[in-house]
Amino acid sequence: MKAPQFEYACPETINEAIRLLNAHQGGAKLIAGGQSLLPILAYRLAAPSLLVDVRKLPGLDSIKIGGDGVCLGAKVRWCDIEADGRLNRAHPLLKAAVAHIAHYQIRNRGTVGGSLAHADPAAELLGIAIACEAEIKIFGPAGERTVRADEFIVDALSTCLEFDELVVEMRLPSWPEGRRWAFEEFARRSGDFAIAGIALYFDQDGEGRACNSRVGVFGASRHPIRLPEAEAVLNGCVIDVATAARASRAAAQTVEPPDDIYASAQYRRALIEALTERALLRAASQ
Amino acid sequence: MSTHFEVNGRPVDTAVEPRTTLADCLRQQLGLNGTHVGCEHGVCGACTVIVDGKAVRSCLLLAVQADGSKVTTVEGLAPGVGQLGPLQIAFKKHHALQCGFCTPGFLMTAHALLTDEPFADKARIREVLSGNVCRCTGYLAIMDAVLDAQRAYQKEEKAVP
């Protein structure tokens, strides 16, 4: 279908973008890559009065890697992350996740800020943000604020962003050398929305026992969440077949997956168990 | 609103509604009917064109967002009138099309990929082509055609060891 009518603006400063959003009191929407927003408009699930294009806003398109981690500007596209060789060491989990995002053509336009603001329950980036305790920098009429990923995501397709705020960047804490990690996702066809996915990592103490474990799930709950029960099973243990089985059972028991046309809750729960086990064994054998 | 961009090397200046997609603008305003519109919500890949060197779905891009960019459509693939580019020759040779509806999208996706990554392996090509849907061929002939045409894109560069 064709999108409903709207006005279009392409401001050159962030302040002007904020002013436009504020003047329209919730009627305006930001557009970046448009890879989620344009399908929504084509389905007429939304009818904004104004689209504010971010493409001319300065300073939002860099990937910065430093002592405090990896900072992804809001306009960084998936293809920019794929092309950045530094991230293979600086954040291999992010790199692995991005390979699962939609298709080639979508990865050439979809952006970090757009994915965060859209907050699809199956979004790989949100899974990474939650698992890695990312911080999201937001700019609005009152200036800048920074929120944790778990504060940022409020519900399915719902964030703490006010109508006149925009995402500036997302920071992932630095990634130590030697960290074990794995990313597992299940979709019926390559590029489809995940029916369930797992992003996890752990560090190891001197005796090879896991510590600082993080297990994040996406696509199988109302929004991506961490699974502290599974993490608790891992911490202090050597990750072997028995531990992986116990942790993945804990993961499956913790999630409350939705029943929808793509999969039943029971199926998703079984998937979470299988994917967590697979991910843990892969991470352990790195 | 007016939008100004380059299509197949030719500058165009056209007036569109903000909601007009690049796909509709190409077809209806500019008469470039080679770009096909399938699903209109970014699933089928039929409308793939190349914008500033990147393959994109032209149904998920507003014509006003393309302002200032360089667009290549399937009409820009052939080297001259009455001639075919290497991918087009290979598609013909390998019977990589039947009804032809999806073909422009496959051609533009494969062209962008092979231009960027002339030594892409089979797995990479399959992965990239997974963003395009064909309901006739079953994809094997399309893979054969792209692999055959790949040599033409490798002329200028040495193989990556």
pLDDT digits (tens, 9 = 90+) for B104-121: 999 999 999 999 999 999
How distant is the Cα of A129 from the closest Cα of chain B, in angstroms? 25
How distant is the Cα of B55 from the closest Cα of chain A, in angstroms? 5
What pLDDT tens digit does each residue of chain B (161 aa) get?
Answer: 999 999 999 999 999 999 999 999 999 999 999 999 999 999 999 999 999 999 999 999 999 999 999 999 999 999 999 999 999 999 999 999 999 999 999 999 999 999 999 999 999 999 999 999 999 988 999 999 999 999 999 976 555 54
Closest to A7 (Cβ–Cβ): which among B18, B127, B130? B18
Interface test with B, best of A105, A107, A118 (most B CBs within 10 A): A105
β-pair type (B70-72, B48-51): antiparallel
Rounded Cα gap, residues A180 and A24, in angstroms? 47
Q: At residue A65, does pLDDT exceed 80?
A: yes
Q: What is the mean pLDDT of residues A198-207?
A: 97
Rounded Cα gap, residues A111 and A76, in angstroms? 5
Overall pTM > 0.80:
yes
What is the CATH superfamily name and number for domain B2-76? Answer: Beta-grasp domain (3.10.20.30)
Q: What pLDDT does residue B161 have?
A: 46
Q: What is the mean pLDDT of residues A115-120?
A: 98
Contacts of B48 in chain A (CB under 8 A): 105
Average pLDDT taken over every residue of chain A: 97
What is the CATH superfamily name and number for domain B86-153? Answer: [2Fe-2S]-binding domain (1.10.150.120)
Question: Looking at beta carbons, which pairs linking B22-30 to residues 24 or more positions away fall under 8 Å?
Answer: B22/B49, B22/B51, B22/B58, B22/B59, B22/B61, B22/B62, B22/B63, B22/B65, B22/B66, B22/B71, B23/B47, B23/B49, B23/B58, B23/B59, B23/B61, B24/A2, B24/B63, B25/B63, B25/B66, B26/B58, B26/B71, B26/B73, B29/B63
Distance of CA A45 to the CA centre of its chain: 22
The DSSP symbol for A77 reads B
Q: Does domain A7-53 have CATH number 3.30.43.10?
A: yes
Interchain CB distance below 8 Å, B131 and A55:
no
Per-domain residue ranges of chain A = 7-53, 63-172, 180-284
Q: At residue A191, does pLDDT exceed 50?
A: yes
pLDDT tens-digit map of A8-18:
999 999 999 99
Adjacency order of strands within the sheet including A143-148:
A63-66, A69-73, A166-172, A135-140, A143-148
Give the H/E segment covering residue A65: strand A63-66
Closest among B112, B57, B111, B119 to B88, alpha carbons compared: B111
Give the H/E segment covering residue A168: strand A166-172
Q: What pLDDT does residue B157 have?
A: 56
Per-domain residue ranges of chain B = 2-76, 86-153
Closest to B41 (Cβ–Cβ): which among A6, A10, A39? A39
Q: What pLDDT does residue A129 have?
A: 98
pLDDT tens-digit map of A147-166:
999 999 999 999 999 999 99
A63-172 CATH: 3.30.465.10
Interchain CB distance below 8 Å, A108 and B54:
yes
The architecture CATH gives domain A180-284: 2-Layer Sandwich (3.30)
Split at pLDDT 50, 70, 90, the class of A286 is confident
Q: What is the mean pLDDT of residues A67-94?
A: 98
ipTM over 0.90: yes
Rounded Cα gap, residues B117 and B148, in angstroms? 15
Interface test with B, best of A41, A75, A79, A103 (most B CBs within 10 A): A103
Rounded Cα gap, residues A79 and B72, in angstroms? 19
Rounded Cα gap, residues B127 and B133, in angstroms? 12
Q: At residue A278, does pLDDT exceed 60?
A: yes
Closest to B18 (Cβ–Cβ): which among A6, A35, A106? A6
Q: Is A248 exposed, middle or buried (0-12, 13-18, 19+ CB in 10 A)?
A: buried
Distance of CA B14 to the CA centre of its chain: 22
Q: Which residues, 6+ apart, have CB-to-CB distance to B74 below 8 Å? A: B34, B35, B49, B103, B104, B107, B108
